[in-house]
Amino acid sequence: MDILLNPNIAYLVIVIGFLIAILALFTPGTGALEIVALVLLVVAGWQITQLDFNWFALILMLVGVFPFLLALRKTGKWYHFAIALLALTLGSTFLFVKQGWKPEVNPFLAAIINLLVIGFFWLILRKGWDALLSKPRNTLAETIGAEGETRSKVHTEGSVYLMGELWSANSVRPIEPNKKVKVVSRKGYTLTVEEIITSENKKS
């Protein structure tokens, strides 16, 4: 228990708990990250109640969640991420203080963790956020009528290169590799295609 009540350990638990909770927003559905974040934040809450802490710093950390959610769900503005990052780093660093505003957390530890947090936000979360908000390159509805090329022999099964991606495909009649085809229907992620007959095909 003494280890958990060390301000440096409490600082680490709080920061890691917040980061995992934020990361869980980008990978919903698994439940694993949510559980880990919940456990860490519960432990962090207990640590805060057992230690002398700065109310203003705690409020700053909690308020910093709102610009993050605003950027994630609404605006997508980088400065909202920056505000959230600043609130988390400052709030966590000054959460445990002594003699006024002097942090109890080791300054070298705080500096290293803050650098890691910045890297976490800008190198990982920004990319994940861009992926979440980016428009899908292809939609299933767009495949009907689209033209592509067979990559293997297609009949009861096969593969077709279409719209920059490789798809599973079948056809009524066998189609040799490297033939131009058109999608006539789709069932799930499997396309039904037919060969595009050109004048060169007829001569051959």
Domain coverage including residue 198: 140-203
* pLDDT higher than threshold 70 for residue 52: yes
- pLDDT confidence tier of residue 75, bands split at 50, 70 and 90: low
Model pTM greater than 0.75? Answer: no
Check: CB of residue 58 under 8 Å from CB of residue 48. yes
Residues 72 and 161 in one domain: no
Residues 119 and 152 in one domain: no
List pLDDT tens digits, range 94-142.
887 776 677 788 888 888 888 887 787 776 666 656 655 555 555 556 7
CATH of the domain at 187: 2.40.50.140
List pLDDT tens digits, range 150-200.
998 999 889 999 887 888 899 999 999 999 999 998 887 789 999 988 765
Residues 123 and 169 in one domain: no
- pLDDT confidence tier of residue 149, bands split at 50, 70 and 90: very high
